Amino acid sequence: MILRSLVGKLWLTIILLVSLVLSFLTFVLIGFFEKFYIDLQVQNMKDDGIKIAQLIENGQPLSNIEYLSNNIVSRYSRVIISIDGEEPWYSKNTYGIQDLPFKEIKNDSVLNKTFSENLVVSKRLVYGENSEREKLVVGIPISNSKVSGSVFVYQTLQPVKVMIHQTTNFVLLAASIGIVLTTFFSFFLSSKITAPLRKMKEVVGSMTSGNFDARVPIHSTDEIGELAFSFNKMSKQLNFNMNALKQEKEKVSNIITSMVDGVISINKEGIIVTTNPPAERFLKMLNDDTPEDNNSLVLTKDLLELFHLVVDSEKKQFIELNLDQGNWQILMSPLYNQTTIRGVVAVIRDVTEQRRLEKMRKDFIAHVSHELRTPISLLQGYSEAIVDGVAESKEEMQELSQIIYDESLRMGRLVNDLLDLARMESGFTELNRDHVPVIQFVDRILRKFKGLAKEKNIKLFGEIDNISHLNIFIDEDRMEQVFTNLIDNAIRHTNENGRIIVSVFQNEISTTFKFIDSGAGIANEDLPFVFERFYKADKARTRGSSGTGLGLSIVKNIVNAHGGTIQVFSEIGQGTTFKVKIPHNLHLDEKHVE
């Protein structure tokens, strides 16, 4: 609606103001002209009456005076002459002017002063109910020693009213023209003045839509122009601030998104506002029992209790959740809006790996202590026996010395294995690679274990399949350590009359070795841990073992150092298969079998 706009309000204000001014001026002018015309008529009537009174005072005959009176006054006026109390004389009534009874003059207190006080008076005399009976009367006394009386000149107000009506019409016409012109120019002026404001409104609309590059055109140097200049300056600064704020927001969002720890923002009602990917995964894991059609993330009971505790105490709170899926530390801190809490931010840290490493460290210390305790106890016991002279014969002394020697070798192997494993896990494994003939290498390793396998009545043999590279680029000593460990384990954990197969298979990108035994096998729950330090499966896999429990960990590190992979497949009672895959190196000697 136009009246709700600034143009309409400004236009209406100007119209009302001009209308009020013109109305006031119209009434003032009408009153002024009315008074002016009446005063003019009164003055003319006084002049005519004085002339007639002077003629009477000069002794002119009554016939001459009557003749002159009819010609002196205007056609809308009449004369009444009253001399020495005789019947008053009325001038001719050529234009039908209504008679004014003389008694009305005598009975009027103002007009009667002409007789009583010899004053020149004038009055608008109204008598009867008809408005036509309103007369303008002027009385002039005759001041002569010979003659006494008065001359009254009266006329109807109709000419005055006609003149005032015409004047009023002219003033109203002029006022109407003025209002029409004012309406046009005020609308034009208000539109011109508010044009920059309307443009500013459009620019503000664009800014609310995110377009901060819009500008207001400047066409003047007045206050509106200065306002437009200031608005453009503000828009430019706002655009700069919004871009800076957007960059900071993106920076914070990227930081939060790339954080390893989960971050959750919660409002005062306990509703999740924002999360990052680790927090979403954590919440989905906690809400895995929610219906599938409910995709919203909500706080669990433990988190809600911690949230209410933070809101009530207005202090940071910390808990650790130990679940089947892992371990998490949760720190909740209040967010303030000036002086009141407006929400809570929660930082979630996955400490599953940390707890696992702590457990591994404790288990490692326990395992090392356990492995060292037995040889140390034996060394201590048998050395005390030698010191105390328990061994009397040379044979007994030799036996005790041999036991001490064997246990010292066992401790040495354990320490060396620990050092090698620590060196490998720290990334300091040095490989002396060379081109090694694969068939001769495997055959040499198998021949080394033929005697041990024969003692346990175990068949040990190799299978060569699809050899496309005669040489492989490996560290022969380290890879021999891998073969030795895996074959030795297979022999120790394979029953009598069993079999062990070492197969070799090649393709264009790698060489694969499989160590297949028909032993007791490994339980499925133990398979993920066989390559951990000091990890031991069931007793069937460890009986009679004199190893350190570090062999498979060393094997895995050596294979990884060669860029390869190692896998284990096993079933209880069906045997075990270790699969070692070594990728071909660019320096590999590519001599194919003819």
Q: Which of 148, 164, 180 is the last residue of a domain?
A: 164
- Predicted confidence at residue 504, as pLDDT, reads 92
Q: What is the CATH number of the domain that holds 370?
A: 1.10.287.130
Residues 234 and 278 placed together within one structural domain of the fold = no
Lowest pLDDT segment from 193-207, 471-485, 499-513: 193-207
In a domain, 154, yes or no: yes
Closest CA to 331 of 348, 314, 354: 348
Considering only residues 593 and 495, tell me which one the structure prediction assigns the higher pLDDT.
495
In a domain, 10, yes or no: yes
Using CA atoms, how far apart are residues 69 and 100, in angstroms rounded to an integer?
Answer: 17
Q: What is the DSSP string of 428-494?
A: ------EEEEHHHHHHHHHHHHHHHHHHTT-EEEEEEE----SEEEE-HHHHHHHHHHHHHHHHHTS
pLDDT, mean of residues 574-594: 67
Residues 251 and 288 placed together within one structural domain of the fold = no
Using CA atoms, how far apart are residues 119 and 102, in angstroms rounded to an integer?
Answer: 18
- Predicted confidence at residue 580, as pLDDT, reads 93
- Predicted confidence at residue 292, as pLDDT, reads 46
- pLDDT at position 544 over 50: no
Q: Which domain holds residue 219?
A: 212-258
**Total count of domains within the chain:** 5
- Name the β-bridge partners of 473: 435
66 band by pLDDT with thresholds 50, 70 and 90: confident
Residues 309 and 363 placed together within one structural domain of the fold = no
Residues 121 and 102 placed together within one structural domain of the fold = yes
Using CA atoms, how far apart are residues 302 and 321, in angstroms rounded to an integer?
Answer: 9
Using CA atoms, how far apart are residues 453 and 455, in angstroms rounded to an integer?
Answer: 5
Average pLDDT, the chain: 79
Considering only residues 439 and 167, tell me which one the structure prediction assigns the higher pLDDT.
439
Contact 454, 492 (CB under 8 A): no
Q: What is the DSSP string of 97-139?
A: PPP--HHHHHH-TTTTHHHHS---EEEEEE-SS-GGGEEEEEE
Residues 40 and 157 placed together within one structural domain of the fold = yes
Q: What percent of the chain has pLDDT over 70?
A: 87
Considering only residues 291 and 91, tell me which one the structure prediction assigns the higher pLDDT.
91
Q: What is the CATH number of the domain that holds 487?
A: 3.30.565.10
Residues 269 and 254 placed together within one structural domain of the fold = no
- Predicted confidence at residue 374, as pLDDT, reads 66
Residues 567 and 444 placed together within one structural domain of the fold = yes
Residues 438 and 452 placed together within one structural domain of the fold = yes
Q: Which of 405, 425, 445 is the last residue of a domain?
A: 425
pLDDT digits (tens, 9 = 90+) for 100-127: 788 888 888 888 888 777 788 888 777 7
Our CA angle for 289, 292, 295, nearest 5°, is 95
pLDDT digits (tens, 9 = 90+) for 432-450: 888 889 889 999 889 888 8
In a domain, 277, yes or no: yes
Which residues are within 8 A (CB) of 535 and not within 5 positions of it... i.e. 6 or more apart? 526, 529, 549
In a domain, 373, yes or no: yes
Residues 13 and 152 placed together within one structural domain of the fold = yes
Q: What percent of the chain has pLDDT over 90?
A: 6
What is the DSSP code (8-state) at residue 226?
A: H
543 band by pLDDT with thresholds 50, 70 and 90: very low
- Predicted confidence at residue 133, as pLDDT, reads 67
- Predicted confidence at residue 536, as pLDDT, reads 62
What is the DSSP code (8-state) at residue 54?
A: H
130 band by pLDDT with thresholds 50, 70 and 90: low
- Predicted confidence at residue 215, as pLDDT, reads 79
Residues 250 and 157 placed together within one structural domain of the fold = no
Amino acid letter at 556?
A: K
- Predicted confidence at residue 590, as pLDDT, reads 40
In a domain, 156, yes or no: yes
Residues 380 and 497 placed together within one structural domain of the fold = no
Model confidence pTM above 0.75: no
* β 77-83/148-156 pair status: antiparallel
Q: Which residues of 136-157 are buried (b: 16+ CB within 10 A; e: fewer)?
A: bbbbbbbeeeeeebbbbbbbbb
Give the CA distances from residue 161 to residues 97, 127, 165, in Å, rounded to whole numbers and listed in that order.
Answer: 15, 18, 6
- Predicted confidence at residue 426, as pLDDT, reads 65
pLDDT digits (tens, 9 = 90+) for 168-196: 888 788 888 888 888 787 777 777 777 77
Q: Which of 425, 449, 474 is the last residue of a domain?
A: 425
In a domain, 179, yes or no: no
Place of tokens 């070795």: 513
Q: What is the CATH number of the domain that holds 306?
A: 3.30.450.20
Residues 275 and 387 placed together within one structural domain of the fold = no
In a domain, 43, yes or no: yes
In a domain, 178, yes or no: no
Using CA atoms, how far apart are residues 489 and 551, in angstroms rounded to an integer?
Answer: 9
